[in-house]
Amino acid sequence: MPNARPNLVGVNIYGGLGNQMFQYAAGLTLSERLGTELCFDIRHYERRDRGDRRLGLRDFGIELQSARVPPFKIGRRIGAALRLLPNPFRGGSRLVSIEGFDPRFFELKAPAALSGFFQSWHYFEGHEASVRRAFDVQRLATPRTAELAAEIAAAKNPVAVHIRRGDYTDSPETIAFFGLLHADHYFRAKSALEARVEEPTYFLFSDDVDIAKAELAGWPGLRPVTGFSAYEDMFLMSSCRHFIIANSTFSWWAAWLGAAPDKLVIGPQQWFGPDYPYPVDPTDRSPPGWLLV
């Protein structure tokens, strides 16, 4: 049996763009720390049941070296899962991330395989510059975004407001699991922002703008943003100065990539719904200086 390659970190990539970015950032950080090559298993996007998910990392111009990485199995004990490790990872270390930050990440040795979500800024703490270079939002700009980007730049304090609906609203069960933020949350966030920011101009982003506008009826001056792709939305959102984000990795990354040194990011204290089965540390998704309401 061939020996494992000691100079390799592999990451299983799946989910929407925000999830992909957390997975990539964790892999990039680990490969830099261990001084290894970095590879990715992207077979998820070859499956017929992937829905409308696409491999959005390539929109950043990221080249993904391909490899077969151990699959993510919720509920499997890591010891048993190690038997599934294909070469070149057999005999190496593995971490499955379901919720939040796992400090065992910093104990991994090469060859290492990562599977899961890695939804915490702690996974790339100290490597922020590398992550920002990888996720160069200027690559997401297109001729179609130029006019609105100029409008955002001309505003004194442009604020991106994101409402996530989509598959979160598929059924009562998905709502209870993922959680759905309602108008009262956004108006509390608006009050918190206006206590700190003068003359805000609000730009509304959503995967269901019509319902989002109805939810926020009575919010004066709210500018709905429509007609753009997901990666164009990411560029436009990150071009804003301040952010009111949803319980969404997509708007989390748009806010994190925002370049204004004095930016205010307001996120939800409650990220998931009442049926989410894992303990949640709100600080995993709240870097220093962010405000939770």
Terminus-to-terminus CA distance in the chain, angstroms? Answer: 54
The answer to whether residue 15 scores a pLDDT higher than 60 is: yes
Please list, in sequence order, all residues whose beta carbon lies within 8 angstroms of the beta carbon of residue 283, skipping any fewer than 6 positions away: none
Are 211 and 165 a contacting pair, CB within 8 Å?
yes
DSSP alpha helix (H) spans, the chain? 17-34, 78-81, 128-134, 146-154, 172-178, 183-194, 209-215, 230-238, 249-257
Q: Give the integer Cα–Cα distance in Å for 58 and 263.
A: 27
Residue 79 pLDDT? 39
> What are the Cα distances from residue 171, in Å, to 52, 111, 128?
18, 41, 37
User: Across residues 137-155, what is the average pLDDT?
Assistant: 98
Q: Give the integer Cα–Cα distance in Å for 267 and 287.
A: 11
Are 207 and 229 a contacting pair, CB within 8 Å?
no
Residue 48 pLDDT class (50, 70, 90 cuts): low
Nearest to 158, CA basis, from 167, 168, 148, 166: 148
Residue 88 pLDDT? 53
The answer to whether residue 273 scores a pLDDT higher than 90 is: no
Q: Is residue 198 exposed (0-12), middle (13-18) or buried (19+ Cβ within 10 Å)?
A: exposed
Classify the phi-psi angles of 208: left when phi > 0, otherwise alpha if psi is within -120 to 50, otherwise beta.
beta
Residue 125 pLDDT? 97
Are 9 and 33 a contacting pair, CB within 8 Å?
no
pLDDT tens readout for residues 66-90: 777 755 444 444 333 334 444 455 5
Q: Give the integer Cα–Cα distance in Å for 115 and 98.
A: 9
Residue 84 pLDDT? 40
Phi, psi of 275 (to 5 degrees): -95, 5
Residue 91 pLDDT class (50, 70, 90 cuts): low
Which range, of 1-10, 24-33, 142-151, 197-206, averages the lowest pLDDT?
A: 1-10
Residue 12 pLDDT? 92
| Crossing angle between the packed helical segments 249-257 and 17-34, to the nearest 10 degrees | 60
Are 116 and 96 a contacting pair, CB within 8 Å?
yes
CATH of domain 140-292: 3.40.50.11350
Residue 7 pLDDT class (50, 70, 90 cuts): confident
pLDDT tens readout for residues 205-250: 999 999 999 999 989 999 999 999 999 999 999 999 999 999 999 9
